[in-house]
Each structure stands twice: as C-alpha cells, then as structure tokens.
Structure 1
Amino acid sequence: MTGSGTQLGKYRILDKLGAGGMADVYRAEDDQLGRQVALKILPPEFARDEERVRRFEKEVRAAAQLHHPHIVTLFEVGEENGIHFYAMALLPGGDLKQQIVVGINPKQALEWIKALASALDFAHRKGFVHRDIKPENILFDEEQRPLLTDLGIAKAVGSGTKMTGTGMSIGTPHYMSPEQARGKQVDGRSDLYSLGIVLYEMLTGRVPYDAEDTLAVAYSHVNDPLPQLPAALGKLQPLLDRLLAKEPEERFAGAGDLAAAIDQLLAGKKLEQEPARKTQVLKAEKAAPAGKGGGLKWAVGGALLAVLVVGGFLLLNGGMGKKPVFAGGGGAVTPASRLKAAPTKAVALARLVAQPANLSRDDAILQVAGKPKKAKISPLDRLRQQASEALAQKRLTLPEDDSAMGYFRKMLGYDGGRQEAISGLTGIARRYLDWARMALDKDKFDKCKTYLIRFDQVSEILARADRDTVGPLKKERDAISRDRVARLTVPNKTETAPTGVASLWQRAIGQHSKGTTGEVPVSSTDNSLQQEWQRAIQQHSSK
C-alpha cells in the first residue's frame, strides 16, 4: 500500500496531494538531490498491460525533453515493486481550478491563456498534442505563472474517460473537442478547443456544456450552439467563437496565432474577424460503396438490435398492455406519453442502432438521444451554483449566509462536495493573503488588517475541515502580520534615535510583537505602540 514513508526508488513519499482519474499525486523527497517533487503514481491495473507500460515510458521520456517556461518539467519515469510512477517539479501555487473558484478578471485570464498558448505552440511544433487540457492540469509556481502539466501523458496512459464501450475517446468530457468526442484523429487544434473551454470557465465560473452523463456532454460539444459570454465581455466573443468552432479548420491554425490574437485584444484592438463560414455539425461520412456491403450489415444488424432493445424496454416498463406508436424518423418505438420527454437510455440505444447506414458509428453514437434531458438540481449542485454566483459577485465572506464562504461551509457536509469545498475555501483564503500583501506593499495598513481578519474567518472553517492545508497559510499570515506591525511603527530611517529612546522603542516593540505563541495577533493595539513611541520622544526632549 502506498502512503507516507513508502520508498519508491530514490523517492520517499511524504504525503498525498490529490487524486485523479489518471494517477494519484504525492509529495515526495528525492533522497539523492534533497529536493521535493510531485510523484504521480499510476493505478495498479496499469502494470497488467505490458504494451501500455512500454508506450507510457516512451512518451514520458519524450515529454521530459520539453523545456519551456510554461510547461512543468518532468524528471524521471520509473517502476518499483510493480508500482509505475513519474516525477515532476513540485509547484506551490495550486491549480487553475482553485483560481476559478475565487474569480479571475478578464485581463488576467487573457494573459494566462496567452502564456499557455505559447507552451502549446512549442509542444505542437515538437509533435506533441496534450489531449487532456483542463484546469486541474494547469498549475502555478510561486510567482503565479501558469504551467501545463501531463503533456503527452493522456495518450500514453490511455486511461482517460471512455465515452462508449468502443473506447472512442481519451480526455475529460467537459473539455474535449468535438473531434475527440467522435473518436476522430486529433491535432493541435483540438487542444485549442479545450483551451477555449477553459477560457470560458475562467471568465464565467462554469463550463459551457454540462449534462447528466458523459454521452450527453459529448453530444453538446458536437451539436449545441456556441456559448455566449455576458454582454460585459462581448469584446472577447470573437476570440471564443474561433476557439470553440465545431470544425478544426475554422479555429486558429495554431497556438501561435491564438497568442497573436490575444496580443491584439490586450492592446485594445478588435480581433480581426474571419470570413463567415458555416459550421457543419455532425457531417455524415459517405456511405460505403454498394459492393462492399458494410452499410447493409450495419443497417440490418442495427434494425435487429433495435427490435430487441425496444422489446425489452417495453417488457421492463410493463408496456405490453399499452399501445405503442412509432417515433418519426428514427424508427424507435416508445409509448406515446413519453415522446415529448427526453429519450430514456433504452430508447436512445434503439435510436443509435437504427441510424441510417451511411452514418459512421461515432456520428451515430452522438445522434442517439436528441437534446439531452436536464438533470434535476440536487441540494449540493444548488450550493455549487450559489457559491459560483457569490464568487462572481465578489461576495467572498459577507454576508455570511449569502457568501461563497458560507456556501462552501455548507458543502463540507456533503461527501461529494467536501474536497471541492476545501479547495474553494483555500482559494478564498489565498486571495485574502495576496490582497493583504499587496495592501502592505502600498502602505495601506488598515486594508491589510481587514484582509487578515477576513482570512482568519475563512481559515477557522478550513482548519476544522483540513488542518494540513491551513497550516502553511497561517504561517504566511503571521509573517504578513509581523511585517505590518514593524512597518507601521518603525521610526523614520533618516533620523537617529537617541540611545535612551531607542531602548524604550525596542522594549515597546518587544511587548507588542512577542506573545506566548510567538504570533502577532491582528487585534494588537497599534495605536498604543505609537503612543509609547511618542512618549519616549517627549521624555527625551524634556531633558
């Protein structure tokens, strides 16, 4: 079992950082070089496929040759006692998902997307396609620069979400391109589409296409209209339209072109419009030649399976006593009372297998169900929506019952929302620390104090949920608080304080900066410290 203290080659695991569909992530110590790294450990079933292992090792070694300011450095790929892993640079700034939870201004979003576009342009020229761009795969260093991680790994591992039993796609459904969803060959323009989805989420706080299952999400990527930004962000709509075009040839030709377009927008210029082109959604492939018989086999087999599926569906639903009707066009049979509703899975499958013979199988899969039925909003989903709205409106902590902090606190009570809530609270706490530091740098001491008080509110909730996460944040908060007290009360450096006054000054500082815990509480009486200093000056002047 992998856990704290486990030794994998020269790496000693310290703690677990997170888990994902492709790998679990651990903080580890490199015993030889004395540095900490992020260690990604692949699932046990991975080792059972030798060909998959060889492909993975080859891809990781190739990706390790990519050196770019906005690509996470890969150090090593290895195996120990049947456990396959790879080591990469450990970045302290969290991931983009945490930034989205707190909120990102449009200018910052464009600058980050431009940086990521430069990384993709470099990778694409080297022959790499990411295939799994999403906020969780965009990390930040100590200077808040975004870096892409796992370049080329999705294809190598081959354990991304499978949209169908035919194993049609690698990637994360909410961010995959239409051609990925249809199992087509992809190139760098697929990554640009995924980056467009990420940009939309950065600007609005949510993904443009969402539904109750992966098939419905894939359907939306292929069929639904392009998402529209709020009116206030209308200047960015042409950029988004280019990124999210259904057909690859209607997007930017390369990531370098995307970066150039963002430069235009950041310079206050309008994005040059491409000639209007009609996006052909779900364009059917040509039918197989009559002599080949492929289309006939698909049509006949599909018709037979449709009969079996629908027959079973009617039996399971007690439909033998009800008079069925035919749904026009698709050939599927269902009770009339259900025709107006979104198709059930059984009817969807029936429509799938009854598709015209000249459709490719992947196209048919995505035409199965018409418009996906919207799922009912669960209490947890409602809290997610409320938290997102509060973040968008900058209601981070106040009012307590209608703030992002308040909604995340409620989400902690749900098993499915706990980790998301911890991430959200961490993002809010981090934002207040950043603001406090910026206020301090501008000598805005009162604002700095206010932000630290807000941080304390959030950290109190976070500490009850995850002490390990809040510990480093509190250390940073204490450092800011000490700096604030020192900068607020230190005398003018151009003046030399007399010895007696200096002694009084040092004693005053000591009384206020040292406590039983060694911390400087935000509630320290700064005014009394100033009064001590003024009294010392007066005492010296009267001598």
Structure 2
Amino acid sequence: MEIPGYEITEQIGKGGMASVYLATQLSLSRSVVLKIMELEGDESDDAVRIGRFLEEGRIVASLNHPNIITIHDIGVTDSDSLYISMEYIKGGDLKSRMGIPFDPVEALNYLMQIGSGLKVAHEHGIVHRDVKPANILFREDNTPLLTDFGIAKQMDNDLDLTKTSGFLGSPNYISPEQASGNEIDERSDIYSLGCVFYEMLTGVKPYYGKNVYKVVAQHLKAPVPELPEDLSKYQPFLDKIMAKDKEERFASAAEMMDGIKEILGKSEPSLLDLALTKKYAEKKFKTHHIVLFLLLFVSVVFFGAIQYVDYRLKSIPVVDLESIPVATTIDSASQSQLIPSSDIKVTEEMINALVWLGNKSLEEYKLTYPEKDNAYYYFSRLLKIRPDSEIAKNGIKEIAERYAFLAEKSFASNEVDKTEAYISIGLKIDSQNSALRSLQTLVDETREKSLLEKVKEIF
C-alpha cells in the first residue's frame, strides 16, 4: 500500500475497523502512526464505518491537550482507503506496565493527568467510552496520554455510530450503564478510569469471571471491590469513582481531580509535583533493580527478609521443563513443537481469539501450563500463523518476564531449586532476557557461597 508523502515501515496492529502502521512522514522526516481503513464493498456497512472512522479523526483533531494523542493529518489513499496520521508514541502503554502494583501516589498522578485529558474531551461534549490501560500511552518523558477515540461519541450528536452486535467498550472496564445499553455521559468514562485505578493499585482487575458475561454482570451488580488493608485510605475515593449508580459518582472529571488533589494534599507537599519519570523507573522495574541490588549484596539479602507484592497470586506450579521447546530466540516461526501443521483457513476471528487467549493466560499466570491452554501455546500458534506478528513476539517475551518475576519471588523466599526451575524455563523461551541471566548469575554465586561455607564448617 502506498500513501503519497508517507513511507510505510511495518504493520503494528489490526483492529475490527482499521489496520495500524508505523510510517515516516517524508516532508518532516518524522515517525508517525497511520491508521488505515480499507473499504470492503458493502455500502451500508462502509457508510457506518466511514462515519465512525472520520468522526474519530475529527474528534481527536479538535482536542489540543498534552494528555490526548495528536492528529497530524486525515486523507484518502490512491485505493480509496481512508487514513489518519497521528503522533508516534515510543513509551508503550499502561497495559504493559500492569501486573505489579503501582505506588499509590504515582497512580494518582497518572489518574490526574488522564483526568485532565478527559476533562477537555468532556467539555467538548465527547465521551471516550473505551478508557482502559491499552488506550493510555506514554511519551518518552513518561507523560500519559489518551488514545483510540474509535468508539467515542459526542453527547450532543444525533448521528448513530453505535450500532453493533453488542455493547461497545471493554468488559473489564465497562461502566454499568454502558454495559446495560443505557444512556451514558462523562461519568461512564470516570467509572472506567476507576477500574484502571484499582488495577494500578492492586495489580489485578476489579472483577473476574469465567466468561465475558460474568465479568459484565459483576460490573452491573457486584459491590465496589475492597482494597487491601494497607490501601484502605483510598477506599472512599474508589467507592465514589466506581459507584454503580452514576448519580453517586464524581459528577465530572474536574470533580474527580479535586478529589485527587485532596488526597495528595494530605501527603507530603512534594508528592503533588512528583517527577513521574524518576518515580516510574524506581517502581516498575524494581524487580530488576532488586536483582542488581542482590548481586552487590548477596550475603545480606540471602539471609534477609525481602517482601514481594503477592496480591491474589496463588502458588504457580513448576511445569515439566521438557514440555517447553528449546528456542534460542523468539524470531523463528517454527520454534513451537506444540503446534501441529494445519490446513484450516485462518480468519481474523481466529487471530483475535489467539491474541485474547494469550493475553488472558498471561493475566492468569498460565504461562506454559496446562498443556495446550497456556500463553506460550497461544502466542506460538499465532507466531506460526503470522511469523511477523509483533503481538506474538512481545507476548512470548512477556512470558519470560513473568518467569523472571516468579524466579525473583522464589529466590526471596530462599527456594533456590524452584528459582532455578523458573530461570531454566524462562531462558528456554527467551535466552537473552537480562533479568533471568542476572538471576542465573546470582543463583550460581549463592550456591558457590553456600558450598564454601560448608567446606569451612568441615575444616
């Protein structure tokens, strides 16, 4: 595909409405993201899709705010496809930072900034309707911003862009009124942001269920989830931001921000102007920093008590190491011995299902177990179908990262054998994982130190 003025580098995503590409805008020599919608021939369906696509571009372009993604251009390709050119964000998304609980003040600061972006959108009469971690990106200076207004809706617009086979939005973050198909306003976005806040604080989503419908049912009827005792001071704020009855919720993003200021005002004054970049580096990669710390102070840590966050994380079984195919990199499409050849026609539904199952297995720490129902299985299958899939490659790398976390957690509990098992599995999946390699060095040094101590005892 060619678009005048742009040089497409690679496809980085695909959704139900459009494909997303990394490209270079030739006139300014800058990297951009192109969101391209290809028409499929059904005029009635295309009319709705075109309307929603252009509406997204128009909505975002009308909002000039540091916490909302910037639109550069909207146009039509030579093949009559529509495209939106937007800024390229290098800092990743909030979803990739979830799993280990955030420092509460850091979480509140992020909430404040996203709330500031929502405030502007709401003042323009726009409800986002899909606030979730994957739609919160980070610039290189660690500024969070809201993206993907693809299902946003103007509150004063009569154009019906919402007709689908079900509700729009993400089940894990959907407001009760949105889930039930009732009229929504800015308070729906506030509820969704509350769900994100809960996940930042605890490392887990507010509600779990065996299927989408059970999750949605809990958003409709279940009480606001309770925070652990050490976070109980934030429970009143959470109760208000996630109130089931929208009349009991914060009435606006501005009111929510006032609530955050009140909480932060009760902390040390310097916390309000926190340097988020430094704070994030200190928190998110703390497990890797702990590894480096341990390497320097092995004798102290080995006998010390290290506390790891363990919210709702049950003991993970050490799987049979032989069940994991040996792979030196994750770039080989044929790496998985688990995936049989198949003549089944691949559909987008199948691709989306593998992505969903892989991510869901990651959330549940079903990394390589049970057989044929784990993250490695699903991402390997996706990689076999689409060898260039960045989602699959990143998913497999994330499995290794989680084994690094489990290994660190086991080592902190002085379970050296279990630590080595986790390291072995993780390195078979991604042999270049720096955390796992550092841990392996640490374990080797620890065993050597233990052996020397035993020799001293003998002599």
> Closer, same or farther in 2 for the Cα pair 1:382/1:199, shift >3 Å?
same
Please name the residue that 2:438 is paired with.
none
> Closer, same or farther in 2 for the Cα pair 1:243/1:86, shift >3 Å?
same
Letter in 2 for 1:413: Y
Bigger shift: residues 20-29 or 248-257: 20-29
Please name the residue that 1:385 is paired with.
364
Letter in 1 for 2:18: A
Please name the residue that 1:37 is paired with.
32
Please name the residue that 1:13 is paired with.
8
> Closer, same or farther in 2 for the Cα pair 1:193/1:125, shift >3 Å?
same
1:105-136 Cα distance to aligned partner (Å, 9 max, x none): 22211110111011111111111111111111
Q: For structure 1, list consecutive stretches of 5 or more residues without a partner in the other structure.
A: 1-5, 270-377, 388-403, 433-455, 465-469, 478-521, 523-543
Letter in 1 for 2:394: I
- Is the 8 Å Cα contact of residues 56 and 149 (structure 2) preserved in structure 1? no
1:425-457 Cα distance to aligned partner (Å, 9 max, x none): 469979x9xxxxxxxxxxxxxxxxxxxxxxx99
1:140-161 Cα distance to aligned partner (Å, 9 max, x none): 0001111001236444998889
- Is the 8 Å Cα contact of residues 175 and 198 (structure 1) preserved in structure 2? yes
TM-score by length of 1: 0.50
Letter in 2 for 1:220: Q
Higher Cα radius of gyration: 1
CA–CA distance in structure 2, aligned partners of residues 12 and 159 of structure 1: 31
1:205 aligns to 2:203 (yes or no): yes
Q: Which residue of 138, 151, 157 corresponds with 1:140?
A: 138
- Is the 8 Å Cα contact of residues 376 and 396 (structure 2) preserved in structure 1? no
Q: What does 1:49-448 align with in structure 2 at a 5 Å threshold?
A: 49-80=46-77, 81-151=79-149, 153-155=151-153, 165=165, 167=166, 169-268=167-266, 384-386=363-365, 411-415=375-379, 419=391, 422-423=394-395, 425=397
CA–CA distance in structure 1, aligned partners of residues 37 and 61 of structure 2: 17
Count of matched residue pairs: 311
1:446-482 Cα distance to aligned partner (Å, 9 max, x none): xxxxxxxxxx999966767xxxxx9xx99xx9xxxxx
- Is the 8 Å Cα contact of residues 405 and 425 (structure 1) preserved in structure 2? no
- Is the 8 Å Cα contact of residues 99 and 427 (structure 1) preserved in structure 2? no
Please report how far the alpha carbon of residue 21 of structure 1 lies from its aligned counterpart in structure 2 after TM superposition. 4.0
CA–CA distance in structure 2, aligned partners of residues 107 and 130 of structure 1: 25
Please name the residue that 1:496 is paired with.
none
Q: Greater RCO between the two (CA within 8 Å, min separation 6)?
A: 2
- Is the 8 Å Cα contact of residues 240 and 250 (structure 2) preserved in structure 1? yes
CA–CA distance in structure 2, aligned partners of residues 414 and 427 of structure 1: 11
1:73-132 Cα distance to aligned partner (Å, 9 max, x none): 011222221322211110100000011135422221111011101111111111111111
Q: Any idea what SS the aligned residue of 1:413 has?
A: helix
TM-score by length of 2: 0.58
CA–CA distance in structure 2, aligned partners of residues 20 and 35 of structure 1: 24
CA–CA distance in structure 2, aligned partners of residues 107 and 39 of structure 1: 35
Q: Any idea what SS the aligned residue of 2:98 has?
A: helix
CA–CA distance in structure 1, aligned partners of residues 126 and 152 of structure 2: 11
Please name the residue that 2:337 is paired with.
none
Q: Any idea what SS the aligned residue of 1:109 has?
A: helix
Pairwise CA RMSD:
3.9
Q: Any idea what SS the aligned residue of 2:379 has?
A: coil
> Closer, same or farther in 2 for the Cα pair 1:458/1:257, shift >3 Å?
farther
Letter in 2 for 1:78: G
> Closer, same or farther in 2 for the Cα pair 1:175/1:33, shift >3 Å?
same
- Is the 8 Å Cα contact of residues 18 and 26 (structure 1) preserved in structure 2? yes
> Closer, same or farther in 2 for the Cα pair 1:174/1:47, shift >3 Å?
farther
> Closer, same or farther in 2 for the Cα pair 1:220/1:55, shift >3 Å?
same
Q: Any idea what SS the aligned residue of 2:142 has?
A: coil
Q: Any idea what SS the aligned residue of 1:415 has?
A: helix
CA–CA distance in structure 1, aligned partners of residues 264 and 255 of structure 2: 14
> Closer, same or farther in 2 for the Cα pair 1:47/1:137, shift >3 Å?
farther
- Is the 8 Å Cα contact of residues 102 and 427 (structure 1) preserved in structure 2? no
CA–CA distance in structure 1, aligned partners of residues 107 and 260 of structure 2: 10
CA–CA distance in structure 2, aligned partners of residues 9 and 457 of structure 1: 49
CA–CA distance in structure 2, aligned partners of residues 77 and 149 of structure 1: 16
> Closer, same or farther in 2 for the Cα pair 1:153/1:180, shift >3 Å?
closer
Letter in 2 for 1:185: E
Q: Any idea what SS the aligned residue of 1:17 has?
A: strand
- Is the 8 Å Cα contact of residues 400 and 426 (structure 2) preserved in structure 1? no
CA–CA distance in structure 2, aligned partners of residues 85 and 384 of structure 1: 33
CA–CA distance in structure 1, aligned partners of residues 368 and 209 of structure 2: 26
